[in-house]
């Protein structure tokens, strides 16, 4: 919900009104646009100054109609006999699902009701009313969203934070692409996601595209795309902050500051999060060696931009991130340090400047950065009373990339095309310990170069149908793959050079949306998608508990064929969208068990034949006067369908994928109060490829309550896991469990 504040002054026969939009928390929403509607229903555009609409009003009764992204249009009547200055506040509802604007579905702004693919949106208000303080936990309210393990990023190793959608499954490396400000956020070396790199206060909106999108985004988007839209300031000065503390010795502070001054605009977002966490090993199995798993992270990101007239905009965004983790025992820790820089811009041609709409746009990005990931591994004895250091590991990586996108409108066609490329250099340098003594040095790594080009045509056939076709060609190479082993006792050195190799992929997609009437529409899509193996999968092994996973330099790209079809219906104010889907993945990369003893399980990354994820998803929303109810459900039957090398895996369920996922959220806002209840549940799943280690179903409920005490200040309390359910997160084969009830109390200002 939002409020429109209108202030005015009289000068001769004209009045000039400054229009400001406010959300349900009483905070400004920018930018806005407005039009004046007079008694004869003629309209006149208002000008925009520093993100606010300036409206010149002549004599007579008129009304101001205001638009803001993410909200329904609102109107404010301005009678002719109004005083010299007038202030009006009008409560407005957020835009309904079909009216919301998304970017990620077509790489261009599109109304959700005109999009033939499945998109879920989490706006700033939804993020602000979530009980969980991290982005990955908020995204768990989207049915089909899953991390490699059930645990939160606050209490788990980042290498287990690969994300997938629609039951395709993940193995640490993501099968979904995550973008921030148009640039991939997935770890360049391993494919997982460092969710703490973005403070939620710096996020405007998150768009989750479920279903393969390689025809637009290339490798990584085999099961979908998550586009994180950064927050920006369009007013002279915008300030926001969030400070909270809670159980598990948790404390966090984050802030956002930005402004627009003439042709210049800039913002900066900083965040610091620290929690001691909890002991993740089940109480029945834990021993003296087990300790809490927690994290301390710091992130900072800024953006400085300049407009050169109405056509050209340029910006630069530097970012910094550092993180330190404890992983459940005294010896198991990891650290991450990363720096990145994005330089970009847009150029637009306006053939009709009066309408403020362009008919030709060019958008580009140059980006690069470096990171270092350090980790220690240990072996815990059977009684969990002691541990021995087994490996010290450092994984440095550097990367650079670019993207160019061109869009134009030709008759009934919206045409988008572009190309992008990236180069990555990464390695893993390790010290191996035997009986607490360094025994050998191991180094491995390589380089990756990729390039892709795409084109898309969106054809509007009147008001009833939208046909979209896109195609992309990608080519990538892995070069200078190398493994070096040095025995410290003998001094012998063994060098293994892996041959250079190249692969390519052709990724088409065809989608259609048919509107029967204002309340009913049908959609369908078919696509080919792929995911290239990461440098981590090719050259680096790892250990979790007593499970060792070995790298495989012979891995090939995963290929997927996807089809989906469904319908959107509005019945008595209830919005329903249902989609059935089928995804066949060929050469799916999986951690395959190749050996097992009571003390050690050995797995290797392999192209595990073929897998299939088949099911359906349902999203629903109902809006009342002060209450919004959202619910979602996904059924996914995900199994191995063929694997000649290991036939016993055929018919087994894909690890870490439940058959059932359900989410629900109630958000109630009235006057100064905001109350939100979130719930999510999932059926059983397995932690291993042989389906021996079962993870039981679970249900979790969260609560968030906020009260505005001043116009720009609110206090809040949030409780995660109200019922204190301690469900299984993993079995390695030791059972690890979810966090107990977690409380935090904080204050926000903006």
Give the model confidence (pLDDT) of 349-367 as tens digits. 865 544 445 578 999 999 9
For residue 61, pLDDT over 80 is answered with: no
d(CA 27, CA 204): 14
d(CA 566, CA 580): 6
More confident of the two residues 101 and 286: 286
- For the chain, the average pLDDT equals 88
Q: What is the pLDDT at residue 541?
A: 74
pLDDT tens readout for residues 574-594 = 999 999 999 999 998 887 888
For residue 49, pLDDT over 80 is answered with: no
d(CA 356, CA 658): 48
With pLDDT > 90 as the criterion, what percentage of the chain qualifies?
62
Q: What is the pLDDT at residue 9?
A: 43
State the pLDDT confidence band at 695, using cuts at 50, 70 and 90. very high
CATH number (domain holding residue 29): 2.60.40.10
CATH number (domain holding residue 615): 2.40.170.20
Domain boundary among 193, 227, 261: 227
User: For the chain, how are helix, strand and coil distributed in percent, rounded to 5?
Assistant: 5, 65, 30
Q: What is the pLDDT at residue 233?
A: 83
**Residue 171 and residue 273 in one domain:** no
For residue 51, pLDDT over 60 is answered with: no
d(CA 177, CA 170): 12
Q: What is the pLDDT at residue 10?
A: 39
pTM of the predicted model as reported, rounded to 2 decimal places? 0.87
**Residue 426 and residue 365 in one domain:** yes
d(CA 536, CA 395): 9
Give the 3-state DSSP-derived string for 570-592, with helices as H, strands as E and coil as C: EECCEEEEEEEEEEEEECCEEEE
- For residues 721 and 741, the answer to whether their CB atoms sit within 8 Å is yes
* 97 three-class SS: helix
Q: What is the CB neighbour count within 10 angstroms for residue 524?
A: 17
The string of DSSP codes covering 39-61 is: TT--EEEPEEETTEEEEEE-SS-
Q: What is the pLDDT at residue 689?
A: 85
- For residues 617 and 633, the answer to whether their CB atoms sit within 8 Å is yes
Strands 183-184 and 177-180: antiparallel
Cis geometry, peptide bond prior to residue 733 (ω within 30 degrees of 0): yes
CATH number (domain holding residue 113): 2.170.130.10
d(CA 429, CA 374): 10
Strand partners, 44: 36
**What's the residue count for the chain?**
750
**Residue 655 and residue 667 in one domain:** yes
Range of the domain at 147: 97-227
For residue 595, pLDDT over 90 is answered with: no
The CA-to-CA distance between both ends of the chain, in Å, stands at 16
d(CA 58, CA 69): 28
Domain boundary among 202, 227, 252: 227
**Residue 86 and residue 110 in one domain:** no
Strands 547-550 and 601-607: parallel
- Report the range of poorest mean pLDDT among 146-150, 259-263, 638-642, 742-746: 146-150
**Residue 58 and residue 111 in one domain:** no
d(CA 536, CA 191): 8
State the pLDDT confidence band at 14, using cuts at 50, 70 and 90. low
Q: What is the pLDDT at residue 5?
A: 46
More confident of the two residues 159 and 70: 159
What is the pLDDT averaged over residues 38-44? 74
**Residue 320 and residue 468 in one domain:** yes
pLDDT tens readout for residues 431-467 = 999 888 999 999 999 999 999 999 999 999 988 899 9
State the pLDDT confidence band at 63, using cuts at 50, 70 and 90. confident
* 197 three-class SS: helix
State the pLDDT confidence band at 45, using cuts at 50, 70 and 90. confident
**Residue 31 and residue 131 in one domain:** no
The tally of domains found in the chain comes to 3
State the pLDDT confidence band at 87, using cuts at 50, 70 and 90. low
- Report the range of poorest mean pLDDT among 93-107, 486-500, 639-653: 93-107
**Residue 69 and residue 101 in one domain:** no
For residue 4, pLDDT over 50 is answered with: no
d(CA 704, CA 720): 9
Contacts by 38-46, CB closer than 8 A, 24 or more apart: 38/62, 45/354, 45/356, 46/19
- Report the range of poorest mean pLDDT among 48-52, 157-161, 293-297, 678-682: 48-52
- Report the range of poorest mean pLDDT among 102-106, 156-160, 480-484, 565-569: 102-106
- Report the range of poorest mean pLDDT among 93-107, 135-149, 367-381: 93-107
Q: What distances in angstroms separate CA 747 from CA 132, 230, 246, 750, one per listed residue? A: 15, 22, 12, 10
644 CB burial (10 A radius; 0-12, 13-18, 19+): exposed
d(CA 376, CA 391): 6
**Residue 156 and residue 288 in one domain:** no
Q: What is the CB neighbour count within 10 angstroms for residue 339?
A: 14
Q: What is the pLDDT at residue 46?
A: 73
Q: Which stretch, 49-63, 546-560, 615-629, has highest mean pLDDT?
A: 615-629
- For residues 686 and 695, the answer to whether their CB atoms sit within 8 Å is yes
**Residue 175 and residue 258 in one domain:** no
For residue 90, pLDDT over 60 is answered with: no
Strands 28-29 and 14-23: antiparallel
- The helix or strand, by DSSP H or E, that contains position 421, with its residue range, turns out to be strand 413-434
Domain boundary among 40, 66, 92: 92
pLDDT tens readout for residues 404-435 = 999 998 888 899 999 999 999 999 999 999 88
**Residue 296 and residue 186 in one domain:** no
d(CA 152, CA 149): 8
**Residue 317 and residue 439 in one domain:** yes
């Amino acid at each position: 919900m939002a409020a429109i504040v209108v202030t005015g002054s009289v000068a001769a026969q004209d009045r000039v009104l400054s229009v400001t939009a406010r959300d349900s928390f009483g905070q400004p929403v920018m930018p806005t646009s407005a039009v004046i509607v007079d008694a004869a229903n003629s309209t006149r555009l208002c000008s925009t100054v520093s993100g606010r609409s300036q409206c010149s009003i002549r004599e007579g009764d008129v009304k101001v109609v205001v638009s803001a992204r993410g909200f329904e249009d609102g109107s404010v009547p301005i009678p002719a006999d109004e005083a010299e200055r007038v202030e009006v506040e009008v409560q407005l509802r957020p835009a309904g699902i079909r009216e919301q604007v998304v970017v990620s579905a077509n790489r261009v702004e599109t109304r959700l009701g005109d999009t033939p693919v499945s998109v879920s949106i989490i706006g700033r208000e939804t993020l602000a009313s979530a009980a969980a303080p991290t982005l990955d936990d908020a995204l768990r309210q989207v049915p089909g969203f899953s991390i490699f393990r059930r645990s939160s990023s606050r209490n788990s190793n980042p290498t287990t934070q690969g994300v997938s959608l629609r039951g395709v499954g993940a193995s640490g490396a993501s099968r979904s692409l995550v973008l921030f400000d148009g640039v991939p956020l997935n770890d360049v070396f391993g494919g997982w996601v460092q969710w703490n790199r973005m403070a939620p206060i710096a996020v405007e909106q998150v768009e989750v595209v479920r279903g393969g999108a390689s025809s637009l985004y290339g490798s990584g988007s085999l099961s979908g795309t998550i586009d994180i839209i950064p927050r920006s300031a369009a007013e002279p000065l915008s300030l926001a902050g969030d400070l909270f503390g809670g159980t598990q010795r948790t404390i966090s502070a984050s802030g956002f500051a930005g402004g627009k001054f003439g042709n210049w605009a800039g913002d900066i977002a900083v965040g610091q999060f620290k929690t001691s966490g909890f002991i993740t090993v089940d109480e029945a199995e834990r021993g003296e060696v087990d300790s809490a798993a927690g994290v301390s992270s710091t992130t900072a990101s800024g953006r400085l931009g300049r407009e050169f007239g109405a056509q050209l905009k340029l910006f630069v965004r530097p970012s910094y991130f550092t993180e330190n983790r404890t992983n459940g025992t005294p010896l198991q820790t990891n650290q991450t340090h990363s720096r990145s820089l994005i330089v970009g811009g847009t150029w637009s041609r306006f053939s009709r400047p009066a309408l403020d709409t362009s008919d030709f746009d060019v958008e580009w990005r140059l980006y690069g950065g470096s990171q270092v990931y350090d980790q220690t591994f240990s072996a815990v004895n059977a009684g969990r009373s002691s541990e021995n250091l087994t490996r010290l590991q450092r994984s440095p990586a550097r990367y650079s990339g670019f993207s160019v996108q061109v869009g134009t409108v030709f008759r009934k066609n919206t045409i988008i095309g572009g190309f992008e490329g990236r180069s990555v250099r990464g390695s893993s340098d390790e010290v191996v310990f035997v009986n607490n003594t360094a025994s050998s040095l191991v180094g491995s790594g390589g380089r990756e170069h990729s390039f892709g080009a795409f084109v898309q045509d969106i054809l509007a056939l009147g008001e009833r149908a939208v046909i979209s076709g896109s195609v992309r060609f990608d080519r990538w190479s892995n070069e200078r793959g190398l493994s070096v082993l040095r025995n410290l006792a003998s001094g012998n050195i063994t060098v293994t050079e892996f041959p250079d190799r190249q692969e390519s992929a052709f990724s088409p997609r065809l989608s259609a949306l048919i509107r029967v009437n204002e309340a009913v529409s049908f959609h369908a899509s078919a696509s080919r998608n792929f995911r290239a193996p990461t440098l981590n999968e090719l050259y680096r092994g790892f250990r979790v508990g007593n499970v060792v996973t070995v790298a495989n330099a012979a891995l090939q790209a995963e290929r997927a064929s996807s089809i989906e079809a469904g319908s959107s219906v509005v019945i008595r104010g209830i919005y329903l969208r249902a989609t059935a889907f089928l995804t066949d993945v060929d050469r799916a990369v999986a951690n395959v068990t190749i050996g097992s003893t009571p003390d050690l399980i050995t797995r290797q990354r392999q192209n595990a034949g073929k897998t299939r994820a088949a099911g359906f998803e349902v999203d629903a929303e109902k809006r009342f006067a002060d209450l919004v109810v959202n619910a979602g459900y996904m059924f996914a039957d995900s199994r191995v369908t063929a694997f000649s090398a290991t036939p016993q895996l055929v018919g087994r369920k894909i690890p870490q994928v439940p058959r059932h996922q359900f989410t629900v959220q109630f958000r109630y806002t009235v006057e100064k109060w905001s109350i939100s209840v979130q719930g999510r549940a999932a059926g059983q799943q397995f932690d291993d490829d042989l389906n021996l280690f079962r993870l039981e179903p679970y249900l979790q409920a969260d609560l968030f309550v906020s009260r505005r005490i001043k116009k720009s200040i609110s206090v809040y309390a949030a409780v995660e896991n109200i019922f204190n359910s301690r469900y299984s997160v993993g079995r390695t084969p030791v059972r690890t469990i979810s966090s107990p009830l977690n409380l935090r109390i904080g204050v926000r200002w903006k």
